[in-house]
Structures are given as C-alpha cells and as structure tokens.
Structure 1
Amino acid sequence: MGQKKLTGQLLVATPTLSGSTFESSVIYMLSHDSDGALGVIVNRPSDVPIERLLPNWSHVASEPDVIFQGGPVSTDSALGLVLISGDGEPLGVRRVSGDVGVLDLDTPAEVVEPAVGGLRVFAGYAGWAPDQLEGEIEEGSWYVVDAEPEDAFSQHADGLWRSVLRRQPGPLALMASFPDDPTMN
C-alpha cells in the first residue's frame, strides 16, 4: 500500500471484523510511521466514571464523562485526548492533527483546562507492528476515512460507526445501513 500517513484519520471496522475485538469500532489514529501504528477506539464507553479514577479531570471531561475502552493493548494505562481551543500546543499536550492532541494526564488540570474544549480518557489503545495495519487495510478489514475533530469527543459514541459511514461519499455511505446481524438481511 505504501501509505504511512494515517495519523489523524479514522479507521472504521468493516463487516469482516464481525465477532472480533474490533467489531463496529471507530479508531482515531494517533500515530502511523515506519515503527507501526497506534490509535484509540473512540466509540466504546465503559461504565467507569472518570471521577472514580482521575478525579482532577472529571470536570474537564466531555460527556459522557466515563473512561472509554481505547483498545486491547495496555488496558491498565490511561491515555487522554483533548480538543484544543486556539493555536499552539498547551503545556502537557502534543498536537496529533488539527485540533486534537494527546494529553499528559500528569499535567495539572488547571494548567490545561483553559486551552481545551473537550477531554476523553481511554483505557488502553490499539497498536500495530510495522506494515501490519497496511496488510489489514489491503485485506479489507478497515475503511480509512477523514476524521472530524468532534469524532473523538462524540456524545453519541455508540452510534459513531454508522454516522461516520453515513457522511462518506458514494457506496461507503450505504454501509451505514448494514444490519448488525447480516443473517437477518
């Protein structure tokens, strides 16, 4: 495939991933280079309130203010994404793409809060070895689509898979109506 610039884009699971860890997932790509790829699943809210694990950040969190299941790797660690308000990189934030940045959760909330318009916290992430993701895309496991900054902070995360597909041009938009159980079609 040769493409190494998926940072800031979305991977949308195709129906071929049905029954897998990534079924109906939407992944915001945080990095993609010759060392591999890393992203977080942005449409899997948990039942764990941010207040319980990171009380200093609960008042900054976007609704729903719960920890999201970011992926199967390092599920005991937390990763923060923020929607950056304005130009520059606030202290403790590394801009990923556009207005989305990765937050160092050890940074004091009061330092970051004025510069961000949203926060989402993820337990774990999705990772790929070099060239692994390219192979999965070539075999038809993922649709690669442009991200909108709000995708990672959607209040309606459960419906994100369908809404991201619905806004795509052409035949890809039809996938939004793909039944949850294809045998029922």
Structure 2
Amino acid sequence: MAASNDFFRGSDPENTNRGSLEGHFLISETELTDPNFIQTVVYLVEHNDNGALGFVVNRKSETALKDVIPDFTDSPAGELEVYIGGPVEQMFLFTLHSGLPGDKRSDAASSSLQGVILEPDFELIRRFLSEQWPDLNPEHRPEIRFYAGYAGWAPGQLENELRHGAWVVIPATPGIVFAPEPEESWRNALRKKGGIYWVVAETGFKPSMN
C-alpha cells in the first residue's frame, strides 16, 4: 500500500460549483445494497463538474499503520488504525486530520470543513508521527485518520444516485469524521437528520409508505 502525495493534483481549488456537496456527509439509505456502502457515512472532499470524491469514515479495517508502513512498527503511531475509505485505489493511503501543531500543512492540503484537513503530502505526516507524536500527551495529539482507497463518482453519477434516493445528505461534522466509536456513526448521522430518519437510526428500517 502506498501513501498518496499527488492524487489531488489537477483539482480546481477555485471551483465554486453551485450545488456542490463538498463538506457534507452522504449517509447510505437502507435500500442501498452495494456491499461497499451498506450503513456507511461518506465525507465528501470534492464535488464539482468533474464528479465527486470522498471517504467512508465509519468502516475500520483490521489493519494498523504499522502493518502498511514498517517504519512505525516500534512507534506508538503504529497503532493508528487504517479505515477502508472506499472501493477505489485501495493500494493508496489517504490522510484526514484535525490540525497539526503550528498549523503545519503542505501547499496541497485542503479543507472543506473547519477542523478536518485533507493532507496529500504523506511525508509531512510521516515526519510529524516520527518526530513529534511520541512526545505529545495523548490528550494533546490531533485526530488523524488513514484511509485505504476512496469513494469516487464520475460526472453526473452522484446526482443520479441522489435522484434515486440512495443517499441522505447532511452537513458534515468533525465529531463524526473522527468519532471514537465509528460503528455508531451511521446511526448518529441519521439522528442528526432527524424526522423519519431518527426512526431509521433506532430500528435500521424505514417505515413503509401506505
């Protein structure tokens, strides 16, 4: 598995596409049966005329950072978990974090949501984890999540799925992106939507329409 440094080159940071869902969650509907997305929450980091891209934030793998980056075998950072970010390009590792000390970030870093930063420069993350992470009090360590792969949509594909009711959309929150119990994130996100979705969150089923 490789860390991705330049995957996001070519995206337009000035894009202000009307109707963009960047910075929102896609919450899978109960009718969505694709095994890659059953009861998932996807954080969208890009959505424009070229399509959409995001990360499934609530699906842990059985892999830790030390399993894919041997340099961290004997480091506390090696225990950081790797999440399954989506079905595309799972040989690449992507990083979201809540902000490094001194607001250190690369020129390629981006943020669609305050408190959630996409950092494509893995070497910057590697240096931080190697040089600073072990000496930080655990309470003062930033949130860092690693994702194997991503979820991607071609132009118009996501819009079509939304028209067919595959996803519920709500504004994203850092609390769900970095949830300490991600297995509860699908239900917690639906609760934030409220209304009938509170019932879905509690039961896992949508009431039938008469």
Normalised-by-shorter TM-score class: 0.7 to 0.9
Question: What is the correspondence of 1:94-113 to structure 2 with a 5 Å cutoff?
Answer: 94-103=110-119, 104-107=121-124, 108-110=126-128
Deviation at 1:69, TM superposition (A): 0.4
Gaps of 5+ in 2: 1-16
* TM superposition score normalised by structure 2: 0.74
- Contact persistence 1:85–1:99 (CA under 8 A): no
Counterpart in the other structure of 1:151: 176
Pair 59,179 (structure 1): closer, same or farther in 2 beyond 3 Å = same
When the two chains are superposed, the root-mean-square deviation of aligned CA atoms in Å is 2.8
Residue 118 in 1 paired to residue 134 in 2?
no
SS at match of 1:117: coil
* TM superposition score normalised by structure 1: 0.83
For 2:25, the aligned partner's letter is L
How many residues align structurally?
A: 177
Deviation at 1:53, TM superposition (A): 1.7
Question: What is the correspondence of 1:30-41 to structure 2 with a 5 Å cutoff?
Answer: 30-41=45-56
Residue 74 in 1 paired to residue 89 in 2?
yes
- Contact persistence 1:83–1:116 (CA under 8 A): no
| 1:23-54 CA distance string (max 9 Å, x none) | 11110111101110000001110111112223
Deviation at 1:71, TM superposition (A): 0.3
Deviation at 1:167, TM superposition (A): 2.5
- Contact persistence 2:66–2:72 (CA under 8 A): yes
Residue 175 in 1 paired to residue 200 in 2?
yes
For 1:176, the aligned partner's letter is A
Counterpart in the other structure of 1:132: 157
Q: Hey, which of these two has a bigger chunk of strand by percent? A: 1
Q: Runs (4+) of structure 1 moved beyond 3 Å? A: 54-61, 111-116
| 1:114-164 CA distance string (max 9 Å, x none) | 897210000000000111101101100000011111211111111110111
Q: Distance in 1 between matches of 2:80 and 2:141?
A: 15
Q: Distance in 2 between matches of 1:45 and 1:139?
A: 28
Pair member with larger Rg: 2
Provide the identity percentage.
28
For 2:146, the aligned partner's letter is V
Q: Distance in 1 between matches of 2:117 and 2:44?
A: 11
